[in-house]
Structure 1
Amino acid sequence: MNLDVFRGPRLAALLARTREQLERRDGALSGGFTLKGLTEEEAGHVHGFLGTEPGRHPDRVPVRLAHLDATVRAGYGIGLAELFEALGTPLRFRSRADRETEELRARILAPALASPLYEAEWFRSWLEHRDTRAAVTRRVRKKDTDTFGQAVRVLETVDAHNTEASATGTSPLLLQSLAVHATGDTKALNSDRPLAGLVLAALAARSGTTRPADRDAQERRALWEENDVVQDDLASRVLTLNLPARGPVLGTWLTEAAEHGVPLQVTLHQLVRFPPVPTARVIHVCENPAVLRLAAERLGSESAPLLCTEGWPSAAFHRLAAAAVSAGARLRYHGDFDWPGAAIARRVAERYGADLWRMSAADYLDHVPDEHHPLEGRERPTPWDPALAEAMRERGAAVFEESVAPALVGDLAER
């Protein structure tokens, strides 16, 4: 049986439209359609095959499915459905395709629905979010039954680790080890992989924060570290000044550095191996190291205790801040007057009950320069003082922390 006539361009438009109609009708041969916009030559080929005559519109050919099926059977001994199968592209009837799609969606979602995390409100909120539903649809289209289940395994591991870490102070999870544990691939949680986007969206729900922007590497890194997942526990650091502490090794280093008013860079590795217990009752926190440097130069050992996040808080900062708050300390936070700075301030305030230090609308308006840096990025709320976000929006200016450092250092001198 020679089917070459169906493989060339002469009947391509006829076959394409026939496939569309049969799949939509679940193979029913009732009714028909009209091919439109054909050239005179194309219309002639179709009329010749069907044995019909041109009508009033030379660029159109009416086609009845039953007649077309009968023509194919008479010439080749098979019906339309068998023809498409013989050509290597079987029909996919809509009802069957819909059923297969729903079955595939159910397979993809099954690990999430069976997970113990499903009892958690944040997990269900993540599952029901429109972005997650869209991500599942993309997995369905790609027939990817692995990625979503891997995301659930990552989340289960992170949640179990954080529960244990809060009780025992265990080491943080290394990102590559987490990726291998969940997928067998060390690069599966790299920022350019779909898996990382799924997990970070869920971690944002778990932390009660907004989802990080895809291109905001700092915010994505910070969200990992808020959940005690780090790329390198030696690279995760926090800068300290005058923060005495109890405990062997690191506690001794912190206390001796405070006696001499010397800044000390502390790594997450050190904090895990030799966990200190800060003894200060009030600890100021800044975002920019220029503030801490100025305090060290002007005040030395007379400065109030100070931590510096150096941008988005690291896992090392979170580990030390949590230890301080657990020991009874009160944090006072100041950062940049820009949208990322507002987001950091809100997170520190919500996570540690920190007071906001010179972060009101009045403080912002006191320091807006004549020539200013424009605000960039997503607008963020300032729930501790809603007027601040409104003032920033109206002025459209960023005020960076180093420009107000003298006022902050003045506060640190009044310890």
Structure 2
Amino acid sequence: MTRSAEAYERYRAPEFRRLLAAARRSLERNGGEIKGSIGLANPTTAERTAVIGITGTYRSADVRRITIPLSALEESVRNVTGMSLHDVLERIGLKLRFRADERTALDQARQRILAEGEASPLHAEHAWYRQWLAGLASDGTITALINRKDIHLFSQAVRVLQYLYNRPSDAPPIMLPALADATTGDTKALNPGRGSLPTLVLRALAMARGISPESGAEARRDLWDAFDVIVDDLASRVLVLNLRATGQGLGQWLTDAACYGTPFHVTLHQLITLPITVNLPTVYVCENPAVLRRAAGELGASSPPLMCAEGRPSTAFHRLAQLIVDSGGTLRYHGDFDWPGIDMTNQLRARYQAVPWHMDAADYVKAVRDNTDQVQLSGKPQDTPWDPELAEVMKRESRAAYEEATTDTLLADWSRGG
């Protein structure tokens, strides 16, 4: 056959298919070098004839495996087409992928990403950030970002985390679209379903909180909420009882509800759009809504002002708590006698100088003795600076006592005026 631009088409024939596939694997494995041999197991008559034509060496019909030097195939292809074996393979198939080169490029890209992550001030300041970065490197996330050409998402995730941790402690909550715009230039970049970016950020924030990432809209909203990021200012709310306030709209509604001892849910949207002033010397804070419900049912309008963290304080809770403290009020807190409950107590003490109420060692011992449920303590032990003996007794007893089991004691105290 004379050389022509179409001469390579002969290599599309079935008798060359397995032979060229083996040649492709060899070239990709060896970085494009023509070296070594390739083979065919149980060749067909057509394949055996093709190899005889390439090598000029007869192979018997009963041969079980044919081996051919790759250099012989290269020479034959050049004689027929005037092209290299490399070029012919790419003409009739996909571009060759040199594995060693790809691994080197991948390793270099991984090192650049890790170096960028380590350059962030968060790397030196926070163990959770280092854990997050190491996890991305070890579980294939960084490799996946490189393969999808989404490296920019990692850079954006770091910017989001730095933005959240560099905000002043007294900064107002930020809406999620505003956060996305400030860090990526795209107001929708952190929305659910927008790819890897929100997943990367929420994974880091969960580590910063010491919790496992959870799926579902509510879990995502709660996690953003914990960092004063508002996903939905109508969904963020705080349950209160007898919390009189001044201010048009919301202030009037709260005062009216207090007249009847009616529980009231205050949304973050209301707190933002209908400013109030709360001039109360003391506001009690509970963790479980069942406590507030019983206070409303049994004490009604005579119950002292009460707000509920509902397990995990929302942005609305924090905004209202800050209003109370800024006006000179004191928060008196009672929660669960377990390590997460103690951690929340410490957080409220640090943020609002909240005073633990019925949260000392004697209260714990009574709650444990009165509680028939034998629930073992779990999680990381916490210090109790307001009563060091409490932490020691909890470690010794290793039992949890939940707030709803102590409600009788709380109500009795409130009925006597706190």
Q: Same fold (TM over 0.5)?
A: yes
How does 1:6-405 map onto structure 2 within 5 Å? 6-7=11-12, 9-36=14-41, 38=42, 40=44, 44=48, 47-48=51-52, 50-51=54-55, 58-87=63-92, 89-105=94-110, 112=117, 120-121=125-126, 124-125=129-130, 128-131=133-136, 134-160=140-166, 162-163=167-168, 166-167=169-170, 169-170=171-172, 172-181=173-182, 182-184=184-186, 186=188, 188-190=190-192, 193-205=195-207, 207-213=208-214, 215-243=215-243, 254=254, 257-258=257-258, 261-273=261-273, 274=275, 276=277, 279-281=280-282, 283-288=284-289, 290-324=290-324, 327=328, 329-334=330-335, 343=340, 345=341, 348-353=344-349, 355=356, 363=367, 366-367=370-371, 380-381=379-380, 383=382, 405=407
Task: Provide the residue aligned with 1:396 in structure 2.
Answer: none
Amino acid at match of 1:22: L
Separation in structure 2 between the aligned mates of residue 6 and residue 388 of structure 1, nearest angstrom: 79
Q: Deviations over 1:371-401 (max 9, x none)?
A: xxx99xxx74454666599657xxxxxx986
Q: Shift of the alpha carbon at 1:237?
A: 0.9
Q: Deviations over 1:294-352 (max 9, x none)?
A: 211211233243222345432111222345566563442435x9xxx975x35523422
Task: Provide the residue aligned with 2:387 in structure 1.
Answer: none
Q: Shift of the alpha carbon at 1:264?
A: 2.7
Change (3 A) 1:350 1:20: farther
Change (3 A) 1:144 1:410: same
Change (3 A) 1:191 1:253: same
Q: Shift of the alpha carbon at 1:228?
A: 1.1
Tell me, what secondary structure is at the counterpart of 2:105? helix
Separation in structure 2 between the aligned mates of residue 312 and residue 42 of structure 1, nearest angstrom: 73
Amino acid at match of 2:200: L
Separation in structure 2 between the aligned mates of residue 45 and residue 349 of structure 1, nearest angstrom: 83
Where in structure 1 are there 5+ consecutive unaligned residues? 393-398
Tell me, what secondary structure is at the counterpart of 1:3? helix
Separation in structure 1 between the aligned mates of residue 62 and residue 132 of structure 2, nearest angstrom: 53
Separation in structure 1 between the aligned mates of residue 299 and residue 271 of structure 2, nearest angstrom: 26
Task: Provide the residue aligned with 2:3 in structure 1.
Answer: none
Say which one has the larger Rg: 2
Q: Is the 8 A contact 2:244 2:254 kept in 1?
A: yes
Separation in structure 1 between the aligned mates of residue 370 and residue 194 of structure 2, nearest angstrom: 42
Change (3 A) 1:90 1:244: same
Amino acid at match of 1:237: R
Residues 123-132 or 108-117, more deviating: 108-117
Change (3 A) 1:131 1:146: closer
* TM-score where L is the length of structure 1: 0.74
Q: Is the 8 A contact 1:219 1:312 kept in 2?
A: no
Tell me, what secondary structure is at the counterpart of 2:73? helix
Change (3 A) 1:218 1:43: same
* TM-score where L is the length of structure 2: 0.74
Where in structure 2 are there 5+ consecutive unaligned residues? 1-5, 384-390
Q: Is the 8 A contact 1:248 1:276 kept in 2?
A: no
Separation in structure 2 between the aligned mates of residue 237 and residue 315 of structure 1, nearest angstrom: 7
Change (3 A) 1:24 1:295: same
User: What do you get for the CA RMSD once the two structures are aligned?
Assistant: 4.2
Amino acid at match of 2:22: R
Identity %: 32
